[in-house]
Structure 1
């Protein structure tokens, strides 16, 4: 491979690292053509970009980034494919679902919500992790709940009693 081609691939990988907020490193070697095609189709359906990369080129792209990916360098051995996603738990759910039918893909590492997760044992945790948007939604729902309770209380029978008490206090003055 020519040096220009390598630098173009590194540049392309660097731009994908900036474009997508989450990525997973997985081993999909030894999948037959049917299973590999099915995995790629599932990735496409779930808006996950799957590419197979050379470890040296990926490492150079990671090193060029402003973020610290040094925890991921030790797993860059053997066959590596990268699953880029804007949803933190999407690739983990896909891997778990796909593993019900096949032995691969095997999770090597992941970069999710500004943190590195290394090893296959992190797959269950990553599948259940909530995205930043989901956490914000949960927080808003929690903050709205007490206000909704007060409003419904004021609109119900208790509201009539409070209104009656306030009216009685005004009449006394």
Structure 2
């Protein structure tokens, strides 16, 4: 591979790391071509970008993107495939689904909104992470709940108060 090609790959990886903010590093070694094609298709169908790159190029891209992590650098051994997604838990859910039919891909590490998840044992935790949209929806629901209670209390209490005021006026 020429130096220019390596530079282009590092640039592309760096841009994707910055653009998505979430990425997973997995091991897909020893899979057949058919298995790799199936995995690629499933990731594509779920809006997850996938790229195989040399570990040294991934390291350089991480450094260029400002993700300088000894833990992530430590997982960059053997064959590495990097997954990019704007939804933090989507790759983990899909990896879990794919693992029902085989033992790959294996999660080496993940970077989710500046949080590190190292090792395949983190897959369940990543799959249960809530997306930003889910969290925002929950927060809005929580904020609306007290407001609705106050409004309904005012409405019901308002008629009682109005009734009291009217009765007091009629007596006076």
- TM-score normalised over the length of structure 2: 0.90
CA distance in 2, matches of 1:30, 1:169: 86
Question: Tell me, which stretches of 5 or more residues in structure 1 are unaligned?
Answer: none
Q: Is the 8 A contact 2:15 2:65 kept in 1?
A: no
SS in 1 for 2:82: strand
Deviation by residue 1:48-104 (Cα, 9 ceiling, x = unmatched): 001111000000111112233332000000010000000000000000011001110
CA distance 1:159–1:30, shift in 2 (3 Å): farther
Any residues of structure 2 matched to 1:31-70 within 5 Å, and which?
31-70=31-70
What is the match of residue 88 of structure 2? 88
Partners of 2:128 and 2:165 in 1: CA distance: 50
Give ranges in structure 2 of 5+ residues lacking alignment: none
Correspondence for 1:163: 162
Decide whether aligned partners of structure 1 residues 10 and 163 sit closer, same or farther in structure 2, where only a CA change above 3 A counts: same
Contact 2:53 2:80 in 1 (8 A): yes
| Distance change (3 Å), C-alpha of 1:169 and 1:73 | farther
Structure 1 window deviating more from structure 2 (76-85 vs 60-69): it is 60-69
Q: How many residue pairs are counted as aligned between the two chains? A: 172
1:116 and 2:122 matched:
no
Mean alpha-carbon deviation: is it higher for 32-41 or for 64-73?
Answer: 64-73
Q: Distance in 1 between matches of 2:127 and 2:169?
A: 59
Would you say 1:140 and 2:124 are equivalent positions? Answer: no
Please, which moves more after superposition, 105-114 or 130-139?
130-139
Query: When the two structures are superposed, what TM-score results if normalisation uses the length of structure 1?
Result: 0.90
- Is residue 26–residue 108 contact of structure 2 (8 Å, CA) maintained in 1? yes
* Root-mean-square deviation over aligned CA pairs: 2.1
Aligned to 2:106: 106
8 Å contact kept, 1:113–1:131: no
